[in-house]
Structure 1
């Protein structure tokens, strides 16, 4: 009996200290009524609706980039910039589209947020962005500008706009795992990363179970008869 009491006390202390994190539905995350199709259905997608003009997104970004660096090969981040007007948001979505197409999110995003919020540089103005980007040394600014000014860039920004409208994204950041679990941050972004990893594992297990179920083939009639004859 004493051993049992000690075990219960130890378990309580572990939970109280935050060493064990058990995410709660409708608290740490919610299940979407309308799932969002993933780009790669057999992998684990972390979909992030964000804006470079969103202060909360700037606070989340360091945590998200850190997690992104440690993602398993079956997990990927899908950044989608919201477009809520034809000026600031649209032009910042063009910046995001350029960052995505050049795979420079890790290098460029911290500097973009810093330029907007700390240095008050109006990167939503195309001429300002072009001038600022080519001056950067932490990433290939020329490559980013070339992508920004390409024909594909406007189409990518428009696609982001349509996606945000289709799924009625009204606030940022909005993070969705596996196309169906929307991450919440009731205890802040650091705690939210624990929930993020739990949801990634949840989706991974669901994908594995679905794949295993698909591999099961029905027994042939002959095999069934043979089994019956051997009983």
Structure 2
């Protein structure tokens, strides 16, 4: 009888593991649904995908190559944008740099350089002075940079960035928001699919994104 019970339990466990899959994500497991859907910038059939990240975040850096490849593959199916989570609050220097470069339309072209500064050169940009020094060394006009960096609009956005993260229920990075409605991240995918090898976790996360984009489009 004991052997029979153990066999039944094993079959049930295997069945549950088979059902849990990045290609068929479950609400409350591989992803969650936001309590309050947020407005999106995408129009028509395009689906908005937001990556909440931080420059210093090792998991964000690890996801970056696969994420870029996924975005390129999606093409006109999505509108992709990033939002920097302000780890240290309304004066967070990383988020401040991100917002400044975004306003100057330089963030996309310099994103890889900033990540390399943090994760390859091991150089920490932890202050306004660090940010200014990095900007000048990477060819940005000092006066133009400071004018945007210290502008009322950027300072206001920086102060509100924590509230923005709160509306999306984001508390860690990387977190991915699909269609202003669905939220997922590698940690959720890993916890819900413990058999996935660590080196395949990023790809599994993108499989969840595929499913959520399709779901949002419906």
The TM-score normalised by the length of structure 1 is 0.67
Alignment CA distance shift 1:24-1:197 (3 Å):
closer
Q: Determine if contact 2:25/2:211 at 8 Å carries over to the other structure.
A: no
**Secondary structure of 1:100's aligned partner:** helix
Q: Determine if contact 1:30/1:184 at 8 Å carries over to the other structure.
A: no
2:75 to 63, 66, 72: 72
Give the distance between the partners of 1:176 and 1:79, measured in 2 at CA: 10
Corresponding residue of 2:176: 175
Q: Determine if contact 2:49/2:179 at 8 Å carries over to the other structure.
A: yes
**Secondary structure of 2:80's aligned partner:** strand
* Structure 1 position 112, deviation (Å): 0.9
Alignment CA distance shift 1:21-1:85 (3 Å):
closer
* Structure 1 position 71, deviation (Å): 3.6
**What is the count of residue pairs matched by the alignment?**
183
Q: Determine if contact 2:34/2:169 at 8 Å carries over to the other structure.
A: no
Q: Does 1:53 align with 2:56?
A: yes
Give the distance between the partners of 1:183 and 1:62, measured in 2 at CA: 18
2:213 to 190, 197, 200: 200
1:144-186: CA deviation from partner (whole Å, max 9, x where unpaired): 8354343322122223222123444221111110111212432
> Which runs of no fewer than 5 residues in structure 2 stay unpaired?
1-17, 191-195
**Secondary structure of 2:38's aligned partner:** coil
CA RMSD of aligned residues (A): 2.8
1:116-139: CA deviation from partner (whole Å, max 9, x where unpaired): 233232323111211112222xxx
Corresponding residue of 1:141: 140
**Secondary structure of 1:45's aligned partner:** strand
Q: Determine if contact 1:83/1:93 at 8 Å carries over to the other structure.
A: yes
Give the distance between the partners of 1:21 and 1:81, measured in 2 at CA: 26
Alignment CA distance shift 1:80-1:30 (3 Å):
same
- Who wins on radius of gyration, i.e. which is larger? 1
1:91-143: CA deviation from partner (whole Å, max 9, x where unpaired): 1111111232234344212211221233232323111211112222xxx6339
Q: Determine if contact 1:25/1:31 at 8 Å carries over to the other structure.
A: no
1:7-44: CA deviation from partner (whole Å, max 9, x where unpaired): xxxxxxxxx9xxx9722214432333332222346441
Give the distance between the partners of 1:164 and 1:105, measured in 2 at CA: 19
Moved more, 65-74 or 182-191: 65-74
Alignment CA distance shift 1:119-1:196 (3 Å):
same
Alignment CA distance shift 1:86-1:76 (3 Å):
same
**Secondary structure of 1:39's aligned partner:** coil
